[in-house]
Amino acid sequence: MEADRSVLEIWGKSQLQGQVKISGAKNAALAILAGALLCPEDCRLRNVPSLVDVNRMSQILEALGVKIERQGDILDINASQISSDRAPYEIVSQLRASFFCIGPILARLGVARVPLPGGCEIGARPVDFHVRGLQGMGATVQINGGMVHAYALQED
């Protein structure tokens, strides 16, 4: 017996035609924005959705010293002069994906200080996976008073 399927039937004298623009994926954009911290040269991202979470991630990067310009769905990013190793609590507390920044900051500066993230309405999701990953790559990670401190050992 075949499962019941929902069907959308269209009838009429005209054929359907046209174009639909598909917006970029928010979660992909957030991870790519954090990853742009790794690039000391200009980056251009296209098809970036204009959403509150994307704007918050952009604000975090700007607080770190990254220059960002938006024209429509294009973001031009220059992370050549990262000036801070500390992500601002006021914004991080509103965006779970903000924790994606800790690895790139650590890679670029050798130290990163990122508050434990917020912004998740479906409940707590610990950052243990991220912390274990950083430790597995040789970083020292400490969590004190809601702030995650990560240090990369410098080779002589």
Catalytic residue among 39, 43, 101, 120: 120
d(CA 98, CA 53): 9
Residue recorded with tokens 């890679």: 107
Is there a catalytic annotation at residue 120?
A: yes
Cα distances from 129 to residues 121, 123, 133, in angstroms, run 20, 16, 6
What residues have CB less than 8 Å from 12, skipping those under 6 apart?
Answer: none
d(CA 14, CA 114): 57
Which residues are tagged catalytic?
120
